Each structure stands twice: as structure tokens, then as C-alpha cells.
Amino acid sequence: MTTTPSPRIRVLIVDDHAMVRRGLTTFLKVFDDLELAGEAESGQAAIELCARLQPDVVLMDMVMPDMDGAAATRLIRKQSESIRVIVLTSFKEEILVQSALQAGAIGYLLKDVSAEDLAQAIRAAHAGRATLSPDVAEVVVHAAGQPPKPGLDLTEREREVLALMIEGLNNTLIAGKLNVSPSTIKTHVSNILSKLGVASRTEAVTLALRNRIIP
């Protein structure tokens, strides 16, 4: 009795450097259970390719010119929760790790990972299991002992209002830009101050800039 071979795991590579994409393409050919679904050189291109190709796993660079890996991951996961995203980057700064994981990445690996470990991470991601590089795991553990970053509970609209506050606009001007009433903006501002734990617009703007709440 013959058994049907398991379908290959289809991987989309996202990186703005052609040499990195070429290396990863060569890496995929070594493993019989992995195959290249496509390549993207930017976050926006990755989103469009994911919609069209529906890969199983995305290897996502974190720092790219037009859109960072976290933003691309968030949008990819929003349009298709079945697609798993592994960040593959040279950077392990806490803010990058947190933003990637909050965006829905299931793994975070550094580019010095071995081919075998990367293959195992892809298989784990496909099965719904997370994988973190040891250095990244240390960052996550350290972050767990820190107070949560301010602003994580802001709604999308509150973030828009805060961004305009940072630009120096008053409630009336913000209301005009967002096509809502000044009283609505006043409520949003009040909620922003409460969530950030500050007493004034100036404090809110200072806190937002210091903690990079608005990208």
C-alpha cells in the first residue's frame, strides 16, 4: 500500500535585500518538505502576494524602507489568520520584538540561525507552535518583568487623534481633519489622557514621543 506524501510547506520570503532572498531560496531547496511560494522585496508587496498566493509560512524581514515587518505582519494576519509569520531579522531590540509579536508573528529568529533550526521553526510555525531565538527569548523574559508600554490600549481612532495632537492641532482642527464634531474629539482626548495616565495634552504628547507610541 502506497502512502500519499504530505504536501510541502509553501514559504513566502520577504526581504528588501536580493542577496538575502537568494540565499533563503537556496536554503528551501535543501529540504524536501519545504518549497518557495514567492518572494517580496517590501511589506506592501508581501501583503499583495499573500492575498494572491496564500502561502503557509512567511519569512518576514523586520526593517524595510516602505513598511516595517510588524505593520506588514499585522495586515497579513488580518486578511488571513491561517498564514503564519516568522520574523527573520538582524535586530533583537525589545521594541521590535514586542511589536512583531503583538502584530501576530509566531516566531522571531535572528539571521545567524542555522539552516536546520530555521527549517524546524518553519515546520513548527506551520503546526501552530512558536519559536524564538535564545537571545530573543531573553528579551521577552526581560520585557515580561517590565511595566506594559503605555498606549497599548489606545483604539485606532485615539491613535489618529494623538498623532494630530503631536502635530500641534487643537480639538477644532482635529475635528475638521477627521470629519467629526469637536465634542467627539474632546471625548477622545479625555480617554487618551486617562489611558496614558497624564493630566494634560502636553504631557500626553511628551509621553507619546518618548515611548514612540505613534510610529
Residue 191 pLDDT grade (very low, low, confident, very high; cuts 50, 70, 90) = very high
Whole-number Cα distances in Å, 97 to 4, 13, 22, 103, 138: 39, 19, 25, 10, 11
Residue 95 pLDDT grade (very low, low, confident, very high; cuts 50, 70, 90) = confident
Phi, psi of 135 (to 5 degrees): -65, -40
Q: Residues 33, 11: contact at Cβ < 8 Å?
A: no
The residues that bridge with 35 in the sheet, in sequence order, are 10
Classify the C-alpha dihedral 191-197-203-205 as positive or negative: negative
Q: Go through 55-76 and write b for each residue having 16 or more CB atoms within 10 A of its CB, e for each that does not.
A: bbbbbbbbebeeebbbbbbbbb
**Model pTM greater than 0.85?**
no
Mean pLDDT of 168-178: 95
Q: How many helices (H) and strands (E) does the chain have?
A: 10, 6
Report the alpha-carbon distance of residue 26 to residue 11 in Å, rounded: 12
Mean pLDDT of 52-62: 97
Looking at residue 66, what is its pLDDT? 83
Average pLDDT, the chain: 91
Looking at residue 206, what is its pLDDT? 93
pLDDT for residue 192 is more than 90: yes
Residue 4 pLDDT grade (very low, low, confident, very high; cuts 50, 70, 90) = low
Percent of the chain residues past pLDDT 90, beyond the cut? 72
Q: Residue 9: in which H helix or E strand, if any?
A: strand 9-14
Looking at residue 186, what is its pLDDT? 95
pLDDT digits (tens, 9 = 90+) for 119-158: 999 999 999 999 998 888 887 777 666 666 788 778 888 9
pLDDT digits (tens, 9 = 90+) for 67-92: 899 999 999 999 999 999 999 999 88
